[in-house]
Amino acid sequence: MRVRALATAAILLAVASGAFGQEEEPPRRNGAFGVRYWLSSGETRHSHNAQVVDPGFGNPTSVLTYSNLDANSVEIFGRQVFERDWFVKGYLGYGRINSGWFRDEDFFAGQDKFSDTTSAVPEGWLGYGSIDVGRSWVLRDGAINLGVFVGYSQWTEYVDAYGATDHLGFIGGDIPTSVKVISNKALWRGLRVGFAGEFAIARRAWLAVDLAGVPYATVRNEDSHVLRADLDDLGPAPNIILDGHGWGVQLDAEVRYQIARRTDLAVGFRYWYFEITKGTRSLPNFPGDSSLPLVELYSTRNGLTLSLRRTW
């Protein structure tokens, strides 16, 4: 409902504000700077295979899912042309994760589940940014602006989970919601290669698309099981570390509308997805042969954006 209301309000505002801008944007814009709000929901999921230690375990052995991580974030973004056809662009954002769920499932061989708990995620944060350098081509008197780029992206999410509902009785009963049971921090870094385009769709309206493939990404995921931090258990937090490398994709699409001279308002959609192709799970307090192969590790986030931009 919040997403629908945001989209409707932004579109109505853009249409109603058209009277403020009577001069069309110049065919070539040398720079832009703006602010953007992102209303999004995300998920991080990882699992490992402990059959190399005991064939009585399943594959995957343990599956941890942080889901429905609803967030609000604000960012600044900009773009500057240099040497006429080259550009540098980027964004930097930060936000709060307001709600979500954590589920921890464990399996014996044959995927016979022996443990299943769920916990609430009432808080967390996310931070992200990218920087790209590319070349652009302006066509049809400025009606089409095409570009290709390479760059770097970084994305971090941190959440705390509280309480536990013990669905199978394995941990001996429920844990109160006032007790923090686990924290998770996922840090992705990636090389971006992509396409950026702007297309005039009306007198003062543009469709902007920014699509980046991430052919190589690295991740460090830290699980802090705070109730298992004793030296005779997992040890001090973070007590489970996941490392890996893989790939990803990042998409931004916006409809921009000129509301005043050199000023536009935009409504859009953003989608991110990163996953590993190879990784390991290790216990940092027990170096040596504590590593186990990861079965999967991915993070995703998507939602609507609303931005205000000034060009020159």
Token pair belonging to 26: 């110049």
Neighbours of 195 (CB within 10 A): 14
Given pLDDT bands bounded at 50, 70 and 90, which one contains residue 28? low
Token pair belonging to 59: 């594959």
Backbone conformation region of residue 22, classed left if phi is above 0, alpha if psi is from -120 to 50, else beta: alpha
Residue 26 gets which letter from DSSP?
P
Question: The domain 2-311 is classified under which CATH number: 2.40.128.90, 1.10.760.10, 2.60.40.1730, 3.30.710.10?
Answer: 2.40.128.90
CA distance 44 to 129: 18
How high does pLDDT run on average in the chain?
Answer: 91
Q: Which amino acid is at 249?
A: V
Find where tokens 């089409």 sit: 144
Nearest alpha-carbon partner for 299 in 247, 231, 259, 232: 247
Token pair belonging to 236: 């001090």
Give residue-wise pLDDT tens across range 190-246. Answer: 999 999 999 999 999 999 999 999 999 999 999 999 999 999 999 999 999 999 999
Given pLDDT bands bounded at 50, 70 and 90, which one contains residue 260? very high
Query: Does residue 140 sit in helix, strand or coil?
Result: helix
Residue 226 gets which letter from DSSP?
G
Strand (E) positions, the chain? 31-48, 57-82, 86-108, 112-139, 144-166, 175-202, 205-224, 240-260, 263-282, 292-311
Q: CA separation (Å) from 158 to 59, 244, 284, 295?
A: 27, 18, 19, 22
Residues 6 or more apart whose Cβ sits within 8 Å of residue 111: 58
Counting every residue written for the chain, the total comes to 312
Give residue-wise pLDDT tens across range 72-108. Answer: 999 999 999 998 899 999 999 999 999 999 999 999 9
Give residue-wise pLDDT tens across range 268-304. Answer: 999 999 999 999 999 999 877 789 999 999 999 999 9
Q: Which residue has the higher pLDDT, 20 or 47?
A: 47
- The answer to whether the beta carbons of residues 43 and 299 sit under 8 Å apart is yes
Find where tokens 């953007």 sit: 36
